[in-house]
Amino acid sequence: MLAQLRNVSLSFPDKKVLEGVSLTVYPGDRIALVGENGAGKTSLFRMLTGALAPDSGEVSLAGGVRIGHLEQDFADLLSDAPRDTCMEAALKPFGDLLELEARIDRLVASLGEVTDGDRASEVLTELGEAQQRFEASGGYEFRARTGTTLTGLGLPEALWDRGVSELSAGQRVRLALARVLLEEHDLILFDEPTNHLDISAREWLEDRLAAMDAAYVVASHDRRFLDAVAHKVAHLDRGGLALYTGDYTAFRHQLRQAEEEGWRGYEKSRKLAKKLQRQAQSYQRWSDAGERKKRGAADKGFVSHKAAKLMKRSLVARKRMEAAVESAKTEKPFTKDAVRIEFGSSRGRGLLHAEDLVVGYAEGSPLTGQLSFDLSTGDRLAVLGPNGSGKTALLRTVLGEIPPLEGHAQLSPSVRVGYFDQDDRLVSSGETALGFVLGTTERDETLVRTVLGRMGVRRETVNKPVSKLSSGERAKVLLAGLILGDNNLLVLDEPTNYLDIETQDVLLDALGEFPGGILFVSHDRYFAEALATATLAFGIT
């Protein structure tokens, strides 16, 4: 056993998060931690690291266990190394080796200055011992390992000499992930490691985790990634935790089976309750008839005895019926109400035409070759490619935010665009979540609240200012506004980055019914394949 939660409960002022949760992590475990946003995944990680104490229950760690933690909101690398370069920050886990390397360099330099033979012999002995320790500790490999890790996670050599303060938020997330992977741990807790990773980096990380000796627990919204890295699935749902064996797809299959069995048990209890109700009513009618009959002069106790017997059977059947009804209430599986959004028809067929289009942010620095494509009503065009290949630049060029370097992109005059911007630049921070969505649609407030609820926005959150919401909550609010708005072209830049899988399914259902066209960027392989009718691939060989 490396770490254990035993009957842990946790509450915040506005809600109960965990109740009676138990989980044991053993050496070699590969566990996917799944559940809706707000289910308690990050809180569970923080309890395992000691950063958060439960209200009740126990948290136990094996003696001397080394735990690494990649936090969802990236670690602030500037706090301990404000002037470090990207490579210097990545090499922090190898502090002892760096010191030994510097000592070897000093000993080599001193050999050229030593004239005394005895002293030269001492220096040579020290140098040999230091070199042996250096080699045994992986000293001739750690720089290559670091470079391979940075490159694999999408931080190429051109960035290694750049200051950490100059890196983008996404690049710093990848740097934080690289440091966790390069450190020595017995157990690693990964909170959303795939955010800001393109498909090639996700695949590299899958291979890296497969070769890892350390146990890990990983929370991710990428189901393909979870299929590749998990052997167990811990599911947080409505305060409880259930552990399943297998990858994410196997877990979903087991969950469906459990739901089907639950519905069968519920229907069985309902049928039994109806049968017992009919029996009780029959016994009651016979008993009442017997009571009337016994009042006749010919009754010598026989009819009275029979009526009493029927009354007793009626009471027994009624009690069994009430128990069956109560059992049906208990066994009824939890389901969320389905939301059907009635979309209007999309006016016009052709929505977007691009011809010989080249995009980029500066003259002389194109990000793409010439692109020609059309987008019509019913099309779902996925733009795929590695980070930095021009995907967002294409969306912004189509929307007129930046000019094309060559060619042109023409929107139809009838187009009404709904744009999901991954940097949340389009959401006014002064509005409430409810107010923002109501401002995008003429739909009634009841439907808006219902859609927000199905998107996973909690009841107590809808009246909060957007500026106070988490990244995931802001994404859900913006997407709800796009779904309910009067748009016939949706332009979506990484819409699933902060969405839990349950909300992704809701979004996929809604987008599947959308009558207009969709142009979208996504690194989520399942989402892209489930939605796209065609793809536009950048920088993919």
- Domain layout of the chain by residue ranges: 69-252, 260-331, 350-537
**455 burial type by CB count under 10 A (0-12 exposed, 13-18 middle, 19+ buried):** buried
- Residue 305: how many other CB atoms lie within 10 Å: 12
Angle formed at CA 176 by CA 173 and CA 180, multiple of 5 degrees: 140
The low-confidence residues of the chain, meaning pLDDT below 50, are 75, 78, 297, 541
Distance CA 166, CA 27 (A): 38
Domains 69-252 and 350-537 share a fold: yes
| β 517-521/380-384 pair status | parallel
Three-state DSSP state, 401: coil
Enumerate residues 6+ apart whose C-beta is below 8 A from 34. 41, 219, 226, 233, 234, 235, 236, 248, 251, 500, 501
What pLDDT, on the 0 to 100 scale, is given for residue 339? 58
Q: What is the mean pLDDT of the chain?
A: 85
CATH number of 69-252: 3.40.50.300
Rounded distance, CA 316 to CA 204, Å?
66
- State the Cα–Cα distance between residues 153 and 387, nearest whole angstrom: 10
With both helix axes pointing from N to C terminus, report the angle between 471-484 and 445-454 in degrees, rounded to the nearest 10.
130
Cβ-contact 204, 508 below 8 angstroms: no
- Residues 6 or more apart in contact with residue 128 via CB below 8 angstroms: none
Return d(Cα 331, Cα 315) in angstroms, integer: 24
H-run or E-run covering 136? helix 117-136
Q: How many CB atoms lie within 10 A of CB 241?
A: 21
pLDDT at 513: 87
pLDDT for 273 equals 66
Question: What is the pLDDT, as a whole number, of residue 430?
Answer: 75
404 and 359 Cβ atoms separated by less than 8 Å: yes
Nearest residue to 316 (alpha-carbon basis) of 282, 359, 357, 352: 282
Q: What is the pLDDT of residue 220?
A: 94
Sign of CA dihedral 509, 511, 516, 518: negative
Does the predicted TM-score (pTM) go above 0.75? yes
- Fold that domain 350-537 belongs to in CATH: Rossmann fold (3.40.50)
> How far apart, in whole angstroms, are the C-alpha atoms of residue 508 and residue 12?
31
pLDDT of the residue at 541: 46
3-state secondary structure 292-317: HHHCCCCCCCHHHHHHHHHHHHHHHH
